[in-house]
Structure 1
Amino acid sequence: MRWLAGALVTLFLLSACNQPAPADVGPSPAATLANPATSTAGAPTPSSSPGGKVTGSDPAGKVELAGVRPQSVQIPAIGVRSALMSLKLDKSGELERPKEFARAGWYDGGPVPGATGPAVIAGHVDSKTGPAVFWRLRDLQPGDEVRVELSDKSTVKFRVAQVKAYPKRKFPTAAVYGPTPIPTLRLITCGGDWEREGGYRDNIVVYAELVS
């Protein structure tokens, strides 16, 4: 049985979006990670991956929560509970894709969730065998809760503010990765139509704000 492809929303420009469509499932919304790359004008750098290249990240949030790292993410509204791996940049300056389809990743060059600035968590939408960790990310609604457990055993809670879908080539890098005066969270995956040559067309970005 084939999965229906849907129009989706994302967060990071993702490098995993170019993977082949899962066998026997048709063009479903594959998850790939978006990259916090910017040009000097703040627009996303054109790239074959959805992430672009990162140019100089120095988040205040790394200082505020020095030594603390996110351990897991929970999104009750869509049934997500995942340990978090660390995501870095590859040699080309693009964000690594998570090595496991059932596990999300935190961009460790950015703020820790709960510190000032935009923390970024990305995950795959599907795999060759079925849905992946962020398969239902597009279904989130404003007001839904996202919880991130930290290595100091504390839990920070966020509320979804909006869910947006962006064509990869028009990814709003400044809006997603630019500094914010308060702690914020971005969740990212792939979405939209799947194209044989370019992979999934869009990124889904979920914007969330810290619950005080």
Structure 2
Amino acid sequence: MSASGWSEPAEQEERRRQRTPWGVMALVLLTGLALIRNGSGDFDAGPPQPASAAAPDTRTGTGTGAAHAPSLPFSGADRVRIPSIRVDAPVMPVGLDADGWIGAPPSEDAGLAGWFTGAVSPGEQGTSVIVGHVDNRRGPAVFYGLGTLRKGNRIDVLRKDGRTAVFEVYGIEVFSKAHFPGDRVYGSKGTAELRLITCGGGFSKRHGYDGNLVVFARLVAVD
């Protein structure tokens, strides 16, 4: 179902139905994302990779000095905008498929992102998750440029309730799918945070991408 077809009560019902304990969901997300090949790998340059200086500062857990904004009540995601890399994409809800893997936007729709409804909504207290393809067989997709983000860049998530949750990037890192730190990526920090996730790292025809690129961000304002 498309994002535009959801009403607020239906979103709440879906969230209650699909909400999974974080320890279990982290494993599900890891496995599900590992199944998203996200493209053919037939492009000479490949997606940009983050610089080592972009990794989150694990000593503080935040990486930047901006103040946290108060968290918001539940409301589904409608669009994600990342001005620094010219992303302005519709967001559809994704959950778990019949096999228990995390869903993903259709690979043929390169400009579509997916909000995982088993986690909190963007702006709620906790860690929300938006996924997107890095490429497909026709070329770069919605999250192709995530690796060029820098600490301090802005991410806007437009919500169904008309509010915009404004997040600030505090880290970008690529993790091996074989050793994905689920608690670190998905665990709640006690405030409203956001993770953008796509495929990254090396690519092979047989196995696809061997890592996930993760953008760490936290809520700093509400418009």
TM-score band by shorter chain is 0.7 to 0.9
| In structure 2, C-alpha distance between the alignment counterparts of 1:19 and 1:191, rounded to whole Å | 9
Contact 1:29 1:190 survives alignment (8 Å): no
Shift of 1:177: 1.6
| CA distance in structure 1 between the aligned counterparts of 2:214 and 2:81, rounded to whole angstroms | 17
1:98 deviates by 1.1
- Secondary structure in structure 1 of the residue aligned to 2:165: strand
By percentage of residues, which structure has more helix? 2
What is the aligned-residue RMSD (CA, Å)? 2.1
2: CA distance between counterparts of 1:18 and 1:81? 23
In 2, Cα distance between equivalents of 1:115 and 1:96: 21
Which whole-Å CA distance do the structure 2 matches of 1:90 and 1:151 have between them?
23
Where in structure 1 do 4 or more consecutive aligned residues deviate above 4 Å? none
Q: Distance in 2 between matches of 1:106 and 1:29?
A: 22
Cα deviations by residue, 1:95-135 (Å, 9 ceiling, x for unpaired) = 11211221111001110111000000000000111110000
* 1:148-200 deviations in Å (ceiling 9; x for gaps): 11111111100000001111111111112222210000000001111122110
Aligned residues: 167
Per-residue CA deviation, residues 18-42 of structure 1 (Å, 9 max, x unaligned), is 35625x5358349xxxxxxxxxxxx
Distance in 1 of aligned mates of 2:157 and 2:77: 7
Choose from 92, 96, 121 the match for 1:89.
96
Q: How does 1:1-212 map to 2 (within 5 A)?
A: 13=30, 14-18=33-37, 21-22=40-41, 24-25=42-43, 28-29=46-47, 65-66=73-74, 68-99=75-106, 100-212=109-221
Identity over the aligned pairs, expressed in percent?
37
> Aligned partner of 2:46: which letter?
S
Return the alpha-carbon distance in structure 1 between the equivalents of residues 110 and 40 of structure 2: 14
- Report the Cα distance in structure 2 between the residues aligned to 1:97 and 1:132, rounded to whole angstroms: 13
Distance in 2 (alpha carbons) for counterparts of 1:140 and 1:76: 10
Find the aligned partners of 2:132 and 2:97 in 1 and give their Cα distance. 17
User: Do the aligned partners of 2:38 and 2:134 also contact (CA within 8 Å) in 1?
Assistant: no
Please give the TM-score of this superposition, normalised by the length of structure 1.
Answer: 0.73
d(CA) in 2 for partners of 1:184, 1:199: 29
Aligned with 2:171: secondary structure?
A: strand
Unpaired stretches in structure 2, ≥5 consecutive residues: 1-28, 49-70
Q: CA deviation at 1:90?
A: 1.5
**Distance between the aligned counterparts of 1:20 and 1:85, measured in 2?**
20
C-alpha distance in 1 between matches for 2:151 and 2:98: 36
TM-score by length of 2: 0.69
Structure 1 gap segments, 5+ residues each? 1-11, 31-60
